[in-house]
Structure formats: C-alpha cells, structure tokens
Amino acid sequence: MTQPPADATVLALDLGGTQVRAALVRADGTRLGRAAAPTPVSDGPSAVVAACIATLQRARENATKEDAAAVSRLVGIGISAPGPLNPWTGVAVEPANLGPRFPGTDLAGPIGAALGLPVYLEHDTKVAILGERAFGAGGGIDDLMYLTISTGFGAAALSGGHLLTGPDDTALELGHVPISLDGPRCTCGGVGHLEAHASGWALAAAGSAAAASGASPWLANWVKEHAGEPISAKTVAEAATAGDRAADEILERALLAVGRAVAGYVNAFNPVRIIIGGSLAEAHWERLAKRIHHEIGENAFKVPARRVSIRPAQLGGDVSLAGCHPVVVGRLGNSDWERAVETESHPFRTPVLGTTNLFECAMRVVVLRRADAARSRRTA
C-alpha cells in the first residue's frame, strides 16, 4: 500500500465510557461532520461496536454535506479508546470503563468491514500527544510529554519523535506509579499511586472524608443540603474558593503531588516540553503551573530544568479526534507497521510510525557507535 497523499483526510472515532464521538479530520487538523451518541456499555460489546459504526457513518454523511471533496480524500479510520488495547490487532484488551464484558472485543475488524476502510486503533493518551504535537501545543517537538488530569491521570511521551510504549503497549501508566509509601489505595488496588492523590475521583474521596469527619464545615453543610448527591472534585474546588481550609488543603496537596511528579519526569525523560490537559488541570491551571515550576526548580536537575517548558493543552476535548489523523497517516502504507501487524510484534519503528522499543533502540545505538569507531580506527 502506498503512502497517503499530503491532503488525505481521516475518519476519527473517540470511544469513551459514556459517549461515542466521530468526525472527519482534514490534513490541517480541522474537524467537520461531527456526530455523537451515548455509549451503550450496559448492552454489551456488540451494541457498542454497532454504535461506533453508526456514528462513523453519520459523520461521513454529515461531512459529505459540508465538504464532499474532503470526503473523497478519505484514506482510513482512527479510533481513540481507553486501554489496555492491542494496536496491532485492533482488539480492546481490558478497557476499564467499557464494562466487564468488553475485554477481547475486536474493534477494528467489524468497523473496517462496515465502512470499507482500514482501521487503526490506539490508546487515547497516545492519540492525544500525537494530536497536540501535530495541531496543538506540541509545535512538532520530538521530545514531548502529555499529561491529562481529570477523572484519572494519564500520560504519553515521545522521545526523538517515537512514542514510548513498551512491548505490551502499557508504558507511561504514570498515574499508577507510587509516590508515597502508605498513601491512599488506588482504584487499581495499589497503594500510594499518583492517581490516588491527584485525580478527580481522589479529590472527591478526600472531600467526602473531610465532610464526614467534620474537618470541612463547608463540605459537611453541602452534604446536608444535597442529600443523596456525591461530592465531586468540582465541589471540593468550590469549597476551597469559598475559603474552606480543609478543602483548600486537599486541592493544594493534589497540585503538590503533580508538581513533584512532573519534576521527576523532567529528570527521567528530559522532555523539551510537557503539555498538560484534562478538566482538573484546566480548572486550576494558573495555580497548577505555579506549583509545577516551583517543584521543577527545587527537585529537577538544572540542565533539563532549564530546557523544559510547561504548556496547557490547546485542543481540549477534540484532542482524541484530531490525533487520529497522524495515527492513520503515520501507519497507512508504512512497511514497518505492516510487518508488526503480521507478526503482532513490537519493532523499532520510524518517527512517523511512532513507537520505540527502548532496549532495542539503545542496542542499535551501541552497534552503530561501535561500527563508527571501527571505521575511524581503519582510516586512522
């Protein structure tokens, strides 16, 4: 298969736990023909796949009315979905928010058959970093990190233009890296994970505990006035804004946890830029950015600290749609990707393909350097 043309368009699907969204994405990242539907998780995998197909079909029909020429340049479908998943086979391995019956569901096969186009499935955070790099705050930077802080904590990274994935496509689960020895228990069962300190559900849990103990008078009163309604991260933020000391401390500790973690990422990954998105980050951006810069100054090595910049994400909720374009055009007609699909393996890949096996990459560098040294000795 040949490489797609420079003006190729892509059908993009954002599969979430509550909503399925689709759009046609042009080569400049603009989206048209939008369509959306509830995700029928309770009806099982077949219903979810059917909803995906119907939503993509509506998006293509809508886009035809807006820009028929763009639809004529359609080359493939990109799917952004929660992991774990297998991008080489197009199968959802064990997506946490799509229900207990969803593991092992083939997404790419039936969707591609229904729409007559090649389908490429990728983890939502990896789609997001490719979208921000191509069309948003990434500015084409090759050494880049993307963090999303909302209900949970997600991350993705590029090193030398390559996505860091690991052999099982599970690398960069930074929300599940312990940051405390005896901290709160995470939803995954672990103890002291970053997500258990800094996420929407973590703030809500801490706020509920503060209300129940009486440590937060504002939240305790809120519970009385809103019987039956659960405290959310937004509720905790409202309490902090109203001057409730306990709520403000909950928020500050969450931002501190993120700041300390980001300082560690500067040391570990040496990124040129870190992009941060998600509803929690957006709601508290100025305070979060100030905390991050302080913690980098205190805890990161000076050389990478001077290089790195921190930026808010630019694409918002559309990042998973926009990011499907570089996913599809980077893999369509790519011989390395096609070999990976045939063998279900994880090769060292090109930047446009976007994945690096770090061990193999390091070994290749060693081999190349030794070869260069040998040539130098022969010509000396």
> Which tens digits make up the pLDDT trace of 120-150?
999 999 999 999 999 999 999 999 999 999 9
Q: Please give the residue that has the higher pLDDT: either 234 or 348.
A: 234
Shared-domain flag, residues 121 and 193 = no
Q: Are residues 309 and 322 in the same domain?
A: no
Of the three residues 271, 293, 313, the one that is the final residue of a domain is 313
Give the pLDDT band of residue 72 (cuts 50, 70, 90).
very high
Residue 68 shares a structural domain with residue 212:
no
Residue 296 lies in a domain: yes
**Domains contained in the chain, number:** 2
147 shares its domain with 213: yes
Q: How confident is the model at residue 170 (pLDDT cuts 50, 70, 90)?
A: confident
Residues 187 and 256 in one domain: yes
Q: What is the pLDDT of residues 286-298, one digit of tens each?
A: 999 999 999 999 9
**Does residue 298 share a domain with residue 174?**
yes
Which pLDDT does position 49 carry in this prediction?
96
- Taking the C-alpha atoms of residue 317 and residue 164, their distance in angstroms, rounded to an integer, is 23
87 shares its domain with 216 = no
CA pair distance 143, 129, nearest whole angstrom: 11
Tell me what pLDDT residue 352 has: 38
115 shares its domain with 175: no
**pLDDT band with cut points at 50, 70 and 90 for residue 376:** very low
222 three-state secondary structure: helix
pLDDT level of residue 349 (50, 70, 90 thresholds): very low
Determine, yes or no, domain membership for 361: no
Structural domain harbouring 282: 140-313
Question: Is pLDDT of 351 > 70?
Answer: no
- Please tell me the pTM assigned to this model: 0.86
Contact indicator for 295, 262 with CB cutoff of 8 Å: yes
Interstrand relation of 74-81 and 9-15 (parallel, antiparallel or unpaired): parallel
In the structure, what pLDDT confidence band is assigned to residue 345 with cuts at 50, 70 and 90?
A: low
Q: Calculate what percentage of the chain has a pLDDT beyond 70.
A: 89
Q: State the average pLDDT over residues 344-373.
A: 42
The verdict on residue 372 lying in a domain is no
Q: Chain-wide mean pLDDT for the chain?
A: 89
DSSP assignment, residue 23? E
Average pLDDT over residues 257-283: 96
CATH number at residue 81: 3.30.420.40
What average pLDDT does the segment 49-66 reach?
97
Q: What is the largest CA-CA distance in the chain?
A: 83
Report the pLDDT averaged over residues 326-349.
76
3-state secondary structure of 3: coil
Kindly indicate the confidence band of residue 187, based on its pLDDT and cuts at 50, 70 and 90.
Answer: confident
Residue 368 lies in a domain: no
Residue carrying the six token digits 């979810």 = 48
Is residue 362 included in any domain, yes or no? no
pLDDT bin (cut points 50, 70, 90) of residue 167 is confident
Is residue 309 located within the same domain as residue 333?
no
Q: In this predicted model, what pLDDT tens digit does every residue of 79-126 receive, in sequence order?
A: 999 888 889 899 998 886 787 888 899 999 999 999 999 999 999 999
Asked whether residue 286 is domain-assigned, the answer is: yes
The pLDDT confidence band at residue 215, using thresholds 50, 70 and 90, is very high
Is residue 373 domain-resident? no
pLDDT at residue 26, as a whole number: 97
Within a domain: residue 352? no
More confident residue, 17 or 121: 121
- Whether residues 293 and 144 fall in one domain: yes
Same domain, 75 and 180: no
Q: Which of 18, 5, 3, 78 is nearest to 325 (CA)?
A: 78
- From CA 56, how far away is CA 62, in angstroms rounded? 10
Answer yes or no: are the C-beta atoms of 300 and 263 closer than 8 Å. Answer: yes
187 plus 308 within the same structural domain:
yes
Six-digit token string for 28: 């400049």
